[in-house]
Amino acid sequence: MAMTKTAVYPGTFDPITLGHLDLVERAARVFDRVMVAVASNKNKNPFFSLQERVALAMATLKKMSNVEVVEFDGLLVDFMHANGATIIVRGVRMVSDFDYEFQLAGMNRQLSPEIESLFLMPAQNYSCISSSFVREIALMGGDIASFVPDVVVSAFQNKLRK
């Protein structure tokens, strides 16, 4: 019996961007199952609620049969154990990202040595996109259509009208 490899791509996804989508597509080609784990992350002050972020990710990723979107709270390694996952997928856009991600991978390895971190680079045209830049541009009335899926553009427009 072949073992199913499950990878978890964790993040706040506030909002999910085309860079995130690119990484999920790459991971879905490599792993049998990819869980996009949307963190509640009480340390941040997200623009979109946890439920909105999960819904946007689901709408964006619904056509990918081996990808599921779930919310989580707490330690990532505990979430991974509960879901039979052994691989953490993280995006690295530039060297500055790698420094932080390297430290995070080391901490996760200390907490749970059997879990591996895999760093993926997005396509070059997505390397400058970050959720925080997208939020800032949207809040200042700028056009974010080239950075996020259409459903996210609509969600920003609807939320900013209120």
State the catalytic residues.
Answer: 20, 44, 93, 131
Distances (CA, A) of 55 to 12, 50, 126: 13, 9, 22
Is residue 138 packed enough to be buried (19+ CB in 10 Å), middle (13-18) or exposed (0-12)? buried
Q: Which tokens go with 1?
A: 């019996």
Q: How far apart are CA 102 and CA 117, in angstroms?
A: 9
- Name every residue whose Cβ is closer than 8 Å to that of residue 156 and which is 6 or more positions away in sequence: 15, 138, 144
Q: Which tokens go with 113?
A: 């040595």
